[in-house]
Structure 1
Amino acid sequence: MGIWSSAMGSSPAGVRRRAFAAAAFLVAAAALIGGCATAAAGPTHPQQAPAPAAPAPAAVVPVLTLQPAADAADVAPSGLAHASASAGTLKDVALTGADGKPVPGSYSADTAQWTATAPLAYKGKYTWSGSMVAPDGTATPLTGTFSTVTPKRTVKGSLNIGDGQTVGVAAPIEVHFNRDLSAEAKAAVERGLTVTTSVPVQGAWAWLPDDQVGSRVHWRPKDYWPANTQVTVKAPLYGLDLGTAGWGTADVGSSFTIGRSQIVKADEDSHRIQVVRDGQQVMDLPASYGLETDPNRVTRSGTHIVMAKSEKVLMSNPDYGYENVPEYWAVRISNNGEFIHANPASNWAQGKRNISHGCINLSTANAKAYFDTAMFGDPVEVTGSSVKLSAADGDIYDWAITWDDWTKMSALTA
């Protein structure tokens, strides 16, 4: 134990010095390692100051909107009056006319909006009242007065088919105006027109030439109406600014029914007419048409419609020497004097020759039988004659116009 090998090259004292040095190295190394560990655990950047607290949200300031606004003048009466709060609620809103009567209205579910449920009157003065209550309970009064327009002229519209009527499968819908409308006014009217049907029906509005009374717009289906279709037409005209013609006086509309399908096949060359109801021929009657050698007496070729009927009509044509001649069981099919009617004087020619002044002549019994089945809007398809039905033949010649041409007669066509 006390002998050191010379091979170690060291004395005991040297060994102690080396051991001490080694121990000192280990302590220093440990200290260095410990110092590195401490530095790694601490922050690598200077410590930042805490972020300041967010400011409290600003209080919501509700905005009150009135339409029409206070002091507005010449307001169109068709738009529904409206009040709204951007925050909070509305309370005790009223819009009162000069007569002291309030305009009816209703609130939204959150009571932040109030809307009139009826239009305003022409030349009226209205006052807002009530309040807007902010979320913090602060109340702002609704105040202000406005006035509606006083028309210098008015325009009245009317429909050719009344509510609850039943009509034939070729019936056009007509909205007629008692004044001539400009192109701009026609477009304004047409934008609001609607036709709703119980089954899909393709159709379109077309403006026919103005007549002596005013303007007119017709709606017809591309093809005949499907039988038994329910139809509702609406023309919102009240409060509509129609330019120089004036302001619309009232909305018009109706709901009606398309009846059974009844089509008259009237072939001049056969000297007969066939009545086809719901696809089945129910009558085949001898007839006499207009005289072909005189263009003024030719029964016009093309699809007419039944316009009206009367048990007795006084017929006149001074150019041909007769006036106020009574004819019976007369069904009008155009406004140029064409009827399907009884004419006992032409019984000998019926089924053989065409000799009338443009009407379709039947015997009294046959005319009565057909008369009883006819209704407004039934199509009468005349074929075989040398002159076509046209605008020169009166108000209703809708089916003489091709579908492509019809769709180009809209006021909204670019």
Structure 2
Amino acid sequence: MTIRHFARRRAGVAVLGLVAALTLGACSGGGSSVNAGGTAGGGPTEAPATPAKAAAVAITPASGAGDVAPGQPAKVTVANGTIGAVTLTNADGKQVQGQPSPDKKSWSSTEDLGYGKTYTWSGQATGEDGKQVQINGSFTTVKPRRQMQGSLNVGDGQTYGIAMPIALTFPSAVKDKASVERALSVETTPKTEGAWAWLNGDTSVHWRPKEYFKPNTKVVVSANIYGVSMGDGVYGKQDVSASFTIGRSQIVKGNTQEHTMQVVRDGQQVMDFPVSYGLDSDPGRVTHSGTHVVMSKHATYSMSNPRYNYTDVNVPWAVRISNNGEFIHGLAGSIWAQGKKNISHGCLNLSPANAKIYYDSVLPGDPVEISGSTQQLGAKDGDYNDWTYDWASWTKLSALSA
């Protein structure tokens, strides 16, 4: 009994000793707060101040650069500071116009640079440290082997039909089509899906919508090709642009086997005329099926086709619908066949009276949808064969297609 009582007592003393040790350890941890990130007095440590940085200046094109294409603006940017003053001058001392950003951290030229000229920077930037850094350097623009101009088929303030393609045409083939295409833009209101395609041996690039334009669409096309490389040392000569409107919807629907032509305006049929189309038995005379586009109209037009032994035949109220000689026009001499038989050399023959009614309603860009013949409109027919391509085929003609 005595021995067991003694053992229990010793065990109790050991437990008390362990608690005391733990308690002392906890207290000693608060004896100094410096090792925990504070001060000896218990207050927070202050982080050292970040030193102010010097201005870092970057110029584009880089100093010493040569053969620079002048189509892109020259630019100065500053990190860790702001631009105080900057000028860009050519070898004659003429200053290039430019504009600083609102935060004064960049400056860009706002006028075109010249070909074959050296430009020099001067100015200062001030860093966060209050010290000035000089802006200097120079670059030289390319001297082109030749400059090439493009021309648009659309004009400012004009109104066109719902199938009107936009065409930018050059006097010779463009080698660097991708660079040129990147410089082109079409803005539409309402937004209209469309794409560029290279045609006619790469001398022309056309933009057309995926589907016909919606009536009253506003269109702005910009070809910012000045200073752009066209390949083989050829560069763009001048920017061109146009702003125009799409008018009402008007579609001609013609069938060569029914010898008729209907005109549908804004969803309502407004004309239905008897027609004589091209002679079906001769592939050289048959009217081609497919979606044509009105290109121009003429109160009178002189027709010639030496292959078929006629020249200078004047016809009234002629509306050109392709570059292969197809027109819609009046011809009194074929009234007997109109609505019954196809005898023309590819044109749609109407009576002069009906031709005048149609002529007065026409806008360039109106679609003319022909069906029923043995021959299809295509690339060999020249402008405008844009609508003979389905959308997948059309987009593959872009120089930027994947």
SS at 1:406 equivalent? helix
Structure 1's 319 and 89: CA in aligned 2 closer, same or farther, altered over 3 A? Answer: closer
Which aligned pairs between 1:186-205 and structure 2 lie closer than 5 A? Answer: 186-205=177-196
Unmatched 5+ stretches in structure 2:
1-19
Partner of 2:14: none
* Per-residue deviation, 1:92: 2.2
RMSD of aligned residue pairs (Cα, Å): 2.8
* Per-residue deviation, 1:120: 1.6
Report Cα offsets for 1:133-174 as digits up to 9, x if no partner: 234443333233322111112222221111211100111111
Matched, 1:357 2:350: no
Tell me which of 43, 60, 63 is aligned to 1:67: 60
How many residue pairs were aligned? 376
Unmatched 5+ stretches in structure 1:
1-34
Partner of 1:320: 308
* Per-residue deviation, 1:264: 0.9
CA distance in 2, matches of 1:170, 1:41: 87
User: Any conservation in 2 of the 1:70–1:146 contact (CA below 8 Å)?
Assistant: yes
CA distance in 1, matches of 2:68, 2:333: 65
Structure 1's 44 and 159: CA in aligned 2 closer, same or farther, altered over 3 A? Answer: closer
* Per-residue deviation, 1:41: 9.8
Matched, 1:122 2:115: yes
The structure number with the bigger radius of gyration is: 1
**Mean CA deviation greater in 299-308 or 172-181:** 172-181
TM-score if structure 2 supplies the norm length? 0.85
* Per-residue deviation, 1:246: 0.9
Query: What amino acid is aligned across from residue 400 of structure 1 in structure 2?
Result: T
SS at 2:71 equivalent? coil
Which aligned pairs between 1:255-274 and structure 2 lie closer than 5 A? Answer: 255-274=243-262
User: Any conservation in 2 of the 1:310–1:329 contact (CA below 8 Å)?
Assistant: yes
* Per-residue deviation, 1:377: 0.6
Partner of 1:389: 377
TM-score if structure 1 supplies the norm length? 0.83
Which aligned pairs between 1:206-245 and structure 2 lie closer than 5 A? Answer: 206-210=197-201, 215-244=203-232
Query: What amino acid is aligned across from residue 260 of structure 2 in structure 1?
Result: R
CA distance in 2, matches of 1:389, 1:338: 11
Structure 1's 147 and 46: CA in aligned 2 closer, same or farther, altered over 3 A? Answer: same
Which aligned pairs between 1:132-143 and structure 2 lie closer than 5 A? Answer: 132-143=125-136
CA distance in 2, matches of 1:338, 1:87: 67
* Per-residue deviation, 1:201: 2.2
Report Cα offsets for 1:75-130 as digits up to 9, x if no partner: 22122111222223222211122333321222223323222222322112222122
Partner of 1:105: 98
Partner of 2:3: none
Q: Give aligned-pair identity as a percent.
A: 52
CA distance in 1, matches of 2:182, 2:28: 74
* Per-residue deviation, 1:284: 1.3
User: Any conservation in 2 of the 1:155–1:245 contact (CA below 8 Å)?
Assistant: no
Report Cα offsets for 1:170-198 as digits up to 9, x if no partner: 1111121222123xx11222233322211
Structure 1's 40 and 46: CA in aligned 2 closer, same or farther, altered over 3 A? Answer: closer
User: Any conservation in 1 of the 2:123–2:135 contact (CA below 8 Å)?
Assistant: yes
CA distance in 2, matches of 1:39, 1:270: 111
CA distance in 2, matches of 1:168, 1:225: 8
User: Any conservation in 1 of the 2:54–2:131 contact (CA below 8 Å)?
Assistant: no
Tell me which of 241, 253, 257 is aligned to 2:241: 253
